[in-house]
Amino acid sequence: MHHPLDLLVHGGDVLTMDASGTVVTDGAVAVRAGEIVEVGPADRLRAAHEAAQEIDARGCLVLPGLVNSHTHLAMNLMRGSADDVTLQGFLARVVPREAELLTPRAVAAATRAAVAESVRAGVTTALDMYWFHEAAEEVAREAGWRLLTGLTFMDVPGVPDGRPYAERISLAGAQLAARTPAPGTRPVLCAHSTYTLAPAQIAEIAALARAHDALLHIHAAENAAEVTTVTEKYGMRPVELLDSIGVLGPDTLLAHAVELTDDEIALLARTGTPVAHCPVSNLKLGCGIARVPDLLDAGVTVGLGTDGAVASNTLDLLHVLHVAALVHKAGGDPTAVGAERAVRLATIDSARALGLDAALGSLEAGKRADLIVVGLDRPHLAPRHDPYSTLAYAAGAADVRDTVVDGRVLMRDRTLLTVDEEEAVRGLREAAGEPAGAGDGAAPGAAAHGNGARA
C-alpha cells in the first residue's frame, strides 16, 4: 500500500481535459496534500490506495473545476439594477452606485454570496477585478476557494476607496513585494481600461506587474463606442494603444476584446496575448459577438468569464459555456465552437489565459486537486451519448453535485460545507440596502404554500 490518500474520487467518467483529451471511463482521481497524485481506472486506484475520504461518482462526470477568467464578484450587490442598457449606460448607472455602496464590509458580504453561487456552479477559480480586494481575499480564504485578485486602478473622480493614483501605485508595489503566492495562484494587478487610465499610467502598472511576475488584467475593445472614444482621444484603437506602450504579451489578459480587426487579431496572436471571452455580458449589453472562432484559428488563447453579476446577472460559468457553444454558430457554421472546445474554454484554456495551466485546468498528476462531479441522474441529461455535448448543451449549475478545491470538498451532494448559504444571502441583501424581510415571504399573488421567494 502507498501512503494513504486524503481523497479518492472514483467511479465516474473522468474528463481529464489533458492535451490528448483523455477520458477515463469508470475512472478515479487520487488526491494527497491538495495535489492530484494519480488519475486512472477506478478498480486499480481503489485497490492500490486507502483514502481518508471518498466520493462515489458512479453515474456521473468528473472534470476539472471551471475557471472564471473575468468577473467582478461583489457586483452581485447591484444585480438587476442596470439591465437593458448599453455599456456606457451601464457604467453611468453602476459607477455612482459603487461609490455609495462599497466598503470593505459590503464587499466581504457580497463576495461571500458570490463564492457560494460560484461553488454551486462548479467554479473553483476566479479572476476578480474589483475594489477592496483584501476583503474578497479573506472571504475566499475562509471558504477554501481559489481567488486571483489585486489592486484595481481607475483614475477617475470618486473611486470607492478614495485613493489617488500615486498612492495606489505605491501600495501596489508594497503589496506585491510582501506577497508569496499560494500554489495554483499568482499575483494580479487590474488596470480598468484605456478610457479610465492614461497610457503612461497603464505602462507603469504593467511594468510593476512584470517586475513581480504578476498578471495584468484590463478591459479592452468591449464595444464600438469604447473604440471610438479611445481612438478620438489618442488616435489609436484600444488594442493598438496597448501595443504602442509595450503592454501586450502572455502576462496581460484582455477582457472582452469584442471589437477587433484582422490586424489586431494577428497582433494578439503574435504577442501571445490571451483574451477572456464573456459572451453573456456582451450579448446583454448589446456589445456584439467577439470573433472567437477567428481568435482560435489564429492561435490566441481564449478563456471564458461571466463578467460581473450586474452585467450578466449570473456567475454560472456552465451557462456561459452553453452560450459560447451556441452564439458563434449564428454565422452559419455549427462547428464554429464545438462542445468539447467550449468545455476546454472553461477549463484548461481559461487556466492558460491566467498563465496557470501548469497547475490548473486539467486532471493530471502534479496539478492542484480542483475538480467537480456533475450528476447525470435527471431527465434533461439522459441518455448519455457524448459527455461534452451533455455539458455544453444540457447541463447547468444545478447539476453540479460536488465541488473540490485543493483537495478540500467545498460542496458535497449539493450541500455547501464551507459557506453558510442562508447567512451569505442575508448579508448580501443587507449590504445592498434591501429592506428587512424583502425576499423572505410570498411574492405578490403567489399561493401561501408556494415558493414565493423573490430572486
* Model pTM score: 0.95
- Here the CATH number for the domain that contains residue 127 is 3.20.20.140
Q: Are residues 144 and 35 in the same domain?
A: no
Residues 110 and 233 in one domain: yes
Does some domain include residue 448?
no
Q: Let me know if residue 429 belongs to a domain.
A: no
Strand pairing of 188-191 and 215-220?
Answer: parallel
In a domain, 451, yes or no: no
Q: Is residue 266 part of a domain?
A: yes
Q: Is 10 helix (H, G, I), strand (E, B) or coil?
A: strand
Q: What angle do CA 303, 309, 313 make, to 5 degrees?
A: 105
My answer on whether 42 and 77 are in the same domain is no
Element (H, E) at 298: helix 292-298
Residue 322 has a pLDDT of: 98
For residue 438, count other CB atoms closer than 10 A to its CB.
10
pLDDT of residue 444: 36
DSSP-based three-state secondary structure for 319: helix
Residues 319 and 409 placed together within one structural domain of the fold: no
Are 230 and 375 found together in one domain? Answer: no
Domain carrying residue 110: 66-353
Would you call 139 helix, strand, or coil by DSSP?
helix
Boundary residue ending a domain (353, 375, 396): 353
Side-chain-side CA neighbours of 153 within 13 Å: the count stands at: 32
Same domain, 371 and 303: no
Residue 184 lies in a domain: yes
The Cα 357–Cα 350 span in angstroms is 8
Would you call 154 helix, strand, or coil by DSSP? coil
Q: Are residues 88 and 114 in the same domain?
A: yes
- In a domain, residue 251? The reply is yes
Spatial strand order of the sheet with 275-277 comes to: 152-153, 188-191, 215-220, 252-256, 275-277, 302-304
Mark which of 331, 353, 375 sits at the end of a domain: 353
The answer on 45 and 97 residing in a single domain is: no
Give the list of residues 6+ apart from residue 292 with CB closer than 8 angstroms, or none.
Answer: 277, 302, 324, 328, 336, 337
Q: Let me know whether 172 and 254 are in one domain.
A: yes
Are 285 and 234 part of one and the same domain? yes
Tell me how many domains the chain contains: 2
Q: What is the pLDDT of residue 212?
A: 97
Q: What is the pLDDT along the chain (455 residues), one digit of tens a residue?
A: 457 999 999 999 999 999 999 999 999 999 999 999 999 999 999 999 999 999 999 999 999 999 999 999 999 999 998 899 998 998 888 888 888 899 999 999 999 999 999 999 999 999 999 999 999 999 999 999 999 999 999 999 989 999 999 999 999 999 999 999 999 999 999 999 999 999 999 999 999 999 999 999 999 999 999 999 999 999 999 999 999 999 999 999 999 999 999 999 999 999 999 999 999 999 999 999 999 999 999 999 999 999 999 999 999 999 999 999 999 999 999 999 999 999 999 999 999 999 999 999 999 999 999 999 999 999 999 998 999 999 999 999 999 999 999 999 999 999 999 999 999 999 999 999 987 666 554 333 333 333 333 22
Distance, in Å, from the CA atom of 347 to the CA atom of 380, rounded to the nearest integer, reads 23
Is the distance from CB of 346 to CB of 325 less than 8 angstroms? no
Decide if 432 is inside a domain. Answer: no
254 shares its domain with 375 = no
Query: Does residue 422 belong to any structural domain of this protein?
Result: no
Question: In this structure, are 76 and 157 located in the same domain?
Answer: yes
Q: Could you tell me the CATH number of the domain that includes residue 52? A: 2.30.40.10
What pLDDT is stored for residue 437 in this prediction? Answer: 65
